[in-house]
Amino acid sequence: MASTGEYKRDSNYITDRITADGDDWPVEAGRYRLVVSRACPWASRAVIVRRLLGLESVLSMGIAGPTHDERSWTFDLDPDGRDPVLGIERLQEAFFARFPDYPRGITVPAVVDVPSGQVVTNDYAQITLDLSTEWTAFHRPGAPSLYPKELRDEIDEINDVVFRDVNNGVYRAGFASSQSAYEDAYGPLFSRLDWLSARLSSQRYLVGDTITEADIRLFTTLVRFDPVYHGHFKCNRSKLTELPVLWAYVRDLYQTPGFGDTVDFDHIKRHYYVVHTSINPTQIVPVGPELSGWLLPHGREALGGRPFGDGTPPPPPPADEVVPASHQP
């Protein structure tokens, strides 16, 4: 936190990469485990990309619980409180296995090398790009192109401004400790949402006519907007349901296989309202908002576009990765 009350995100991550021709960390089926929490928007990106590309059988996934303490995410969803593949109770153990004095936050998503039990990377932005570009030998037949070469410059440009003003903007508003810092985040956030509304009023997706990495990165913030960011983070000029274009856009994605079936609204709310005690000291978790609207027709098909391009939708998620029905609309 800056002296001005502005929230500063720690952007120093473990930047090792798993690549097709890597020496230390080569792409290998079954070698790595993706550790996530369905509560976390940064981790949810990796969950969606893995699912759309059909990597479930080659990159296993451990799901941490929605809450954590200062020591890190825990595997309290598993029957014995241990990840069944890594055998650890806390993600922290994988970080310390490689860096005994690791000084930074223990964050998800993280990719862990199963044989050694050591973390490889928690660089969330690069993880999804590498799943698209380095793991191609294991993509399912019909996997979409989420980061096509001919659109990468435009995707990167969109991702940069969306990260600054929206993905991180809600946090800058929510964690601000001064009025001026809060307002400095609040204004650009809603200006960018208005800009996105204008862009998406005439095209179905952010870049090109298919779903790309840019849509995934925006989706994971928008899907949390009304449940947590509007009230908990004081991003309250408008609810998402009051922004017609963005509300239709995010419903379109939510109803697309690989998106909504990865979303756990219960975990999302419990994480923010229970963990952030400086903002919500009572830890009371709101009952609302009403979720049935997520399944209403969105009408975005009229703009054209093909969700998966020349590819196909992913099959249903594996049985052990299905979100409980009570945590969805």
Of 32, 40, 205, 254, the catalytic one is: 40
The reply to whether 171 belongs to the active site is: yes
221-260 CB burial, b ≥16 within 10 A, e <16: bbbbbbbbbbbbbbbeebebbebebbbbbbbbbbbbbbbb
What separation in angstroms does the CA of 201 have from each of 160, 205, 214, 238, 260?
21, 10, 16, 18, 22
In this structure, are strands 32-37 and 60-64 parallel, antiparallel, or unpaired? Answer: parallel
Residue 5 CA to residue 11 CA, distance in Å, equals 18
DSSP H or E segment with residue 69: strand 68-69
Q: State which H helix or E strand residue 89 sits in.
A: none
Helix (H, G, I), strand (E, B) or coil at 90: strand
Element (H, E) at 85: none
Please answer whether residues 15 and 121 qualify as being in contact, where contact means their C-beta atoms are separated by less than 8 angstroms: yes
Between CA 225 and CA 232 the distance in angstroms is 10
**168, 260, 174: which is closest to 223 by C-alpha?**
260
Query: What is the arrangement of strands in the sheet containing 32-37, beginning at the earlier edge strand?
Result: 60-64, 32-37, 110-113, 118-121
Asked if 188 and 162 count as a contact pair (C-beta separation under 8 A), the reply is no
Q: Is 182 part of the annotated catalytic residue set? A: no
The answer for residues whose C-beta is within 8 angstroms of residue 183's C-beta and 6 or more apart is: none
* Per annotation, catalytic residue among 7, 13, 102, 171: 171
Catalytic residues: 40, 171
